[in-house]
Structure 1
């Protein structure tokens, strides 16, 4: 894995600011601790920080293609050896790196070459003859790519938003709608970014910049959810296991130590079993946590079953001291508290391996989230009761019912009542929202709310659902997650927390062939009788054992509610001494102070909303050097 950066003159061939590009690449040193490189020509500068994984001697970047073009690239192309065989009929390759295969393929075939790639990637490709720059990102959004235009007509791009900020060439003022998205979802969804004028290139897109022309942005792939006349269930389960085995084998290419993240869950255990099938001797890394969520015993049993070299390390369950480090790594405000233990997992795993395979993607692809059966239940109610009656009945109930975050799930009905009063898309948006909108509205500055001009973050889910070709509600919800939740939250967390330590994380379940195949499955192959990931569990039951498959799903989030009610090391009390959130203009100081008092006294249950303010404050502190 690597860090990439570049500056491109949109208007001519002016000299680029070399010092600014150096600051950008320096800000990405954690992504590429093994070296750096630069390319400069009239009107363009490309930078690269390298984490050497394949062909450590021959894959240095920026890479000059023999057939024209210069590439700065972050990622892994898992089928590069097969693609190299095709290229050898046209050109004599000089290295055994995927970088050269990508550079030469783009030079010969242009953006059409993206269809051939099996892997994760983000890159900038400069063609001197046309003085054009193409940026592209992988299908699911595993690798990040930000870009922005300066006031004097230069385009800048980088793997992380912090690198753009380090250039000193962009305006660090908040984008109000991006901030509103954060306070709803707990992250900033693509294509927005938290700084005004900065964009993320959406997954499965490429954009071409050429002097004097309007940029051309195109989507080259889209997940399809349509029943494609699937195989009989048992046959499909066997085929799924074979496909995962194939994806894992393809992703085990590496010239450096490799292992797997191993929790007690089905996803990571399945990946480890496939690694054992492909290679025999495997390495697994497990983190022990104190408390009910510790799954180390289950992970230990799986490691023993597959004779893995198993490293177990203790994580600090009280990781409030990590808040600023994690905020700095994320680069944008990020309120998913599981980023803290994820940061620790990556830090500890890096002691043993440089590449780690993960189980990420299983919940999105095979319907493993608990919100899916609840959403389907709501949909059944929506079909029975006409909208006006639902709004009249459930609207008041949702307003009056308390938000019992601490209570058993059957008693946490507030969001369900609110969702039933709304449309299908609005209801699902409420299910994925990290905060209760009414709570956030109570502490946000009215001037900020007016600035939004009626913009509603929930509209992103509606747009995603409307763009889906699926008819059944489960597939529509999964499609929305693939467009928003997966690239904006889950994969951002994996990328930033792993790359903060120079660790490359690879999720085989997000192989696009598996995603395409799973999308064609009937919904009940994935979710039936309230049980998600049905076909994935059945596919690996013979390897993992019935007891492991039947284990209850565990969380991976720290106890923020308990942290914010204690006397010492209380993250909520950081807000009392901080001026960053107060000076942002986004909050009502009096309302936030009152929320802290009410929560600590037990009069209110608003831990997640307070955590969102805490992480926003930490983002401001770290992003602006406070």
Structure 2
């Protein structure tokens, strides 16, 4: 796992400034504290920061082909590199290292742009081919590894693994993108391909970029989740699920450094640890964090799995009032990011790094097997939508949604306002509402009239609508799983884990997000993923849980989902109250022109008095204020 960067002359051959590239690349030294390397010619400068995982002595980058005409810088892992080495050697290529990086240059020689389709792993890489005078950049199918880029007015492309590298370049235009505020307060992050900045972009997951001096930059998709030709029967899914999972775990156990796993005590991390224990002849290194408040603590379940599989387990209790990281979050994420679980994620990465350099995680299980509460709610609501014609449904439920009070204090079954609002919408609009940090009506109240006018009709839902039009299926569950993979997974989950782990110089591998495993999982019948089970209620991830019964205790498999959350609503009434007020009502926020100031003050007062729970919205405002202070 590493960091890459580069400067490329788009139109003419001019010297690249070595010191400038070295200076900006060192802003991401946490991604690769073991080594750095550079390559320069008249069109390009390539930079690399290395976290040594495979071929510790021979994997220095940039790395070249036999005659030095092709150079590559690479961030990630190619898990099938050994089979590719065999194939490429048979085709006449000569290897000088045992590194997976060298596979990339020879694959480019052999297959050109199609080489990326042969790689199974997580990656971003940049290849410079002096003979073709082409720069080729690729990002993995799911977007586990990031790539930011910008074209400067001086005619150069600047790219890097983290946004902070581009922010250090004096020629990169740092004008804020006006729509980023609408996007952020809907999603809690800025969806790809955009960033908070008008002239800086993310290369989308499953895309490549090809550049030749004097020609237009173009990005091209090379992978998408396809519609299943047919869904698996229950028997087929059950008979092959463990085999598929075990194979995805097995290929991620290759490393020349200590390797372990996160163990939260939930279904997904327990599944990964159980497979690792089956595949290794030595104890699995596991780590977990717990909290001193029972409603947030899963450590006892992690301990159960650790004892069952006799892992070498390390745990650490985090004070639920530990807010010391909050000011660091903007430095870690570089743009507004509002997933509060970034705090415990950072802590578990910090803990893991004390004993291992690589950790396997259970990320992805909820997305690919239908494990979120919103998935179950969406299917239940969709049944109602399908029964009642929209000409009746919209006015009836639209009126109920307006009249019904917002009852944050009430038991969940009585909080019907958002359900009524959702039933008045089509399924994409409703799903957008369910994932929104602030729903569209809440954003309208939050934003100033001037900012709403500046948006000129733009709505954050446009991103979801764009992906929904490309979705390979109209199956209600598979549609929203597809939307999750295109937005939530890459923009929130994978961003959170990449930055938190890399800030601690730790590599994280996610077997459940192996693209071949996902393609297989997408053929599991939706009715087998979410099912009403006698004695257990409506279960998400049921096919997955049922297959795991021989390996994971049913008390873990079927207990209510807790998530990886923090008590932010409580913080904002106690330890963080003054920080919240000072930040949200700071000059940078009030003078930004984005907000209805009286509504900001009302939200703060209502939450402080306990009249409303605005915790999630106020966390977004706190994170946004931290970003604005840096502008």
Residue equivalent to 2:535: none
Query: 2:191 pairs with 189, 192, 195, which one?
Result: 189
Using the TM superposition, give the Cα deviation of residue 152 of structure 1 relative to its aligned residue in structure 2, in angstroms.
1.3
Is residue 301 of structure 1 aligned with residue 304 of structure 2?
A: yes
Q: Deviations over 1:66-115 (max 9, x none)?
A: 26311111000001111111111211201000011112212332120111
Residue equivalent to 1:158: 160
Structure 1 distance, partners of 2:478, 2:326, is 36
Query: 1:573 pairs with 570, 581, 586, which one?
Result: 581
Using the TM superposition, give the Cα deviation of residue 422 of structure 1 relative to its aligned residue in structure 2, in angstroms.
1.1
Structure 2 distance, partners of 1:408, 1:396, is 22
Query: Alignment RMSD, CA only?
Result: 1.6
Residue equivalent to 1:288: 290
Q: Measured at CA, do residues 472 and 229 of structure 1 come closer, stay the same or move farther in structure 2, by a change above 3 Å?
A: closer
Is residue 412 of structure 1 aligned with residue 415 of structure 2?
A: yes
Query: 1:598 pairs with 591, 596, 606, which one?
Result: 606
Q: Deviations over 1:486-508 (max 9, x none)?
A: 10111101111111110111100
Q: Measured at CA, do residues 570 and 135 of structure 1 come closer, stay the same or move farther in structure 2, by a change above 3 Å?
A: same
Structure 2 distance, partners of 1:147, 1:602, is 44
- Superposition pairs for residues 27-46 of structure 1, below 5 Å? 27-46=27-46
Q: Deviations over 1:149-170 (max 9, x none)?
A: 0011100111111110012221
Residue equivalent to 1:123: 125
Residue equivalent to 1:434: 437
Is residue 259 of structure 1 aligned with residue 260 of structure 2?
A: yes
Using the TM superposition, give the Cα deviation of residue 590 of structure 1 relative to its aligned residue in structure 2, in angstroms.
3.5
Using the TM superposition, give the Cα deviation of residue 577 of structure 1 relative to its aligned residue in structure 2, in angstroms.
6.5
Residue equivalent to 1:372: 375
Using the TM superposition, give the Cα deviation of residue 593 of structure 1 relative to its aligned residue in structure 2, in angstroms.
2.5
Deviates more, 1:117-126 or 1:14-23: 14-23
Using the TM superposition, give the Cα deviation of residue 42 of structure 1 relative to its aligned residue in structure 2, in angstroms.
0.3
Structure 2 distance, partners of 1:229, 1:587, is 48
On the 8 A contact 2:584/2:621 being kept in 1, the answer is no
Using the TM superposition, give the Cα deviation of residue 118 of structure 1 relative to its aligned residue in structure 2, in angstroms.
0.7
Is residue 555 of structure 1 aligned with residue 557 of structure 2?
A: no
Q: Measured at CA, do residues 574 and 237 of structure 1 come closer, stay the same or move farther in structure 2, by a change above 3 Å?
A: farther
Using the TM superposition, give the Cα deviation of residue 399 of structure 1 relative to its aligned residue in structure 2, in angstroms.
2.0
What SS does the corresponding residue of 1:392 show, helix, strand or coil?
A: helix
Q: Measured at CA, do residues 457 and 97 of structure 1 come closer, stay the same or move farther in structure 2, by a change above 3 Å?
A: same
Residue equivalent to 1:64: 64
Using the TM superposition, give the Cα deviation of residue 547 of structure 1 relative to its aligned residue in structure 2, in angstroms.
2.5
What SS does the corresponding residue of 2:550 show, helix, strand or coil?
A: helix
Q: Measured at CA, do residues 567 and 358 of structure 1 come closer, stay the same or move farther in structure 2, by a change above 3 Å?
A: closer
Q: Measured at CA, do residues 66 and 400 of structure 1 come closer, stay the same or move farther in structure 2, by a change above 3 Å?
A: farther
On the 8 A contact 2:11/2:215 being kept in 1, the answer is no
Q: Deviations over 1:421-445 (max 9, x none)?
A: 1111101111111113322322322
Query: 1:587 pairs with 595, 601, 612, which one?
Result: 595
Structure 2 distance, partners of 1:324, 1:62, is 34
Residue equivalent to 1:241: 242
Q: Deviations over 1:461-507 (max 9, x none)?
A: 22222211112111111111111111011110111111111011110
Deviates more, 1:202-211 or 1:400-409: 400-409
Structure 1 distance, partners of 2:82, 2:415, is 52
Residue equivalent to 1:538: 546
- Segments of 5+ residues of structure 2 without an aligned counterpart are 533-537
What SS does the corresponding residue of 1:30 show, helix, strand or coil?
A: helix
Using the TM superposition, give the Cα deviation of residue 195 of structure 1 relative to its aligned residue in structure 2, in angstroms.
0.8
What SS does the corresponding residue of 1:171 show, helix, strand or coil?
A: coil
Q: Measured at CA, do residues 9 and 26 of structure 1 come closer, stay the same or move farther in structure 2, by a change above 3 Å?
A: same
What SS does the corresponding residue of 2:210 show, helix, strand or coil?
A: strand
Query: 2:455 pairs with 452, 455, 459, which one?
Result: 452
Structure 1 distance, partners of 2:349, 2:512, is 19
Structure 1 distance, partners of 2:350, 2:609, is 36
What SS does the corresponding residue of 2:149 show, helix, strand or coil?
A: strand
On the 8 A contact 1:263/1:286 being kept in 2, the answer is yes
On the 8 A contact 2:189/2:336 being kept in 1, the answer is yes
The alignment's TM-score, normalised by the length of structure 1, stands at 0.96
Using the TM superposition, give the Cα deviation of residue 229 of structure 1 relative to its aligned residue in structure 2, in angstroms.
4.6
Is residue 487 of structure 1 aligned with residue 503 of structure 2?
A: no
Q: Measured at CA, do residues 301 and 121 of structure 1 come closer, stay the same or move farther in structure 2, by a change above 3 Å?
A: same
What SS does the corresponding residue of 2:107 show, helix, strand or coil?
A: helix
Query: 2:388 pairs with 385, 410, 428, which one?
Result: 385
Structure 1 distance, partners of 2:301, 2:624, is 35
Structure 2 distance, partners of 1:584, 1:135, is 36
Structure 2 distance, partners of 1:406, 1:126, is 58
Q: Deviations over 1:273-330 (max 9, x none)?
A: 1101111321100111122121111110101111100011122322322112122111
The alignment's TM-score, normalised by the length of structure 2, stands at 0.96
Structure 2 distance, partners of 1:346, 1:286, is 10
Structure 2 distance, partners of 1:216, 1:235, is 42
Residue equivalent to 1:478: 481
Residue equivalent to 1:134: 136
Query: 1:109 pairs with 96, 108, 111, which one?
Result: 111
Residue equivalent to 1:75: 76
- Superposition pairs for residues 4-15 of structure 1, below 5 Å? 4-15=4-15
- Segments of 5+ residues of structure 1 without an aligned counterpart are none
Structure 2 distance, partners of 1:166, 1:405, is 43
What SS does the corresponding residue of 2:261 show, helix, strand or coil?
A: strand
Q: Deviations over 1:400-457 (max 9, x none)?
A: 3333345432122222111111111101111111113322322322222211110111
What SS does the corresponding residue of 1:217 show, helix, strand or coil?
A: strand
Using the TM superposition, give the Cα deviation of residue 570 of structure 1 relative to its aligned residue in structure 2, in angstroms.
4.4
Q: Measured at CA, do residues 531 and 136 of structure 1 come closer, stay the same or move farther in structure 2, by a change above 3 Å?
A: same
Using the TM superposition, give the Cα deviation of residue 542 of structure 1 relative to its aligned residue in structure 2, in angstroms.
0.4
Using the TM superposition, give the Cα deviation of residue 19 of structure 1 relative to its aligned residue in structure 2, in angstroms.
3.0
Residue equivalent to 1:313: 316
On the 8 A contact 2:358/2:508 being kept in 1, the answer is yes
Using the TM superposition, give the Cα deviation of residue 609 of structure 1 relative to its aligned residue in structure 2, in angstroms.
1.4
What SS does the corresponding residue of 2:325 show, helix, strand or coil?
A: helix
Tell me which stretches of 4 or more aligned residues in structure 1 moved more than 6 Å: none
Structure 2 distance, partners of 1:12, 1:135, is 19
Q: Measured at CA, do residues 92 and 567 of structure 1 come closer, stay the same or move farther in structure 2, by a change above 3 Å?
A: closer
On the 8 A contact 2:8/2:157 being kept in 1, the answer is yes
- Superposition pairs for residues 503-514 of structure 1, below 5 Å? 503-514=506-517
Structure 2 distance, partners of 1:577, 1:382, is 41
Q: Measured at CA, do residues 59 and 407 of structure 1 come closer, stay the same or move farther in structure 2, by a change above 3 Å?
A: farther
Deviates more, 1:536-545 or 1:441-450: 441-450
On the 8 A contact 2:584/2:625 being kept in 1, the answer is no
On the 8 A contact 1:225/1:479 being kept in 2, the answer is no
Is residue 610 of structure 1 aligned with residue 618 of structure 2?
A: yes
Using the TM superposition, give the Cα deviation of residue 64 of structure 1 relative to its aligned residue in structure 2, in angstroms.
1.5
Q: Measured at CA, do residues 277 and 565 of structure 1 come closer, stay the same or move farther in structure 2, by a change above 3 Å?
A: same
Using the TM superposition, give the Cα deviation of residue 256 of structure 1 relative to its aligned residue in structure 2, in angstroms.
1.0
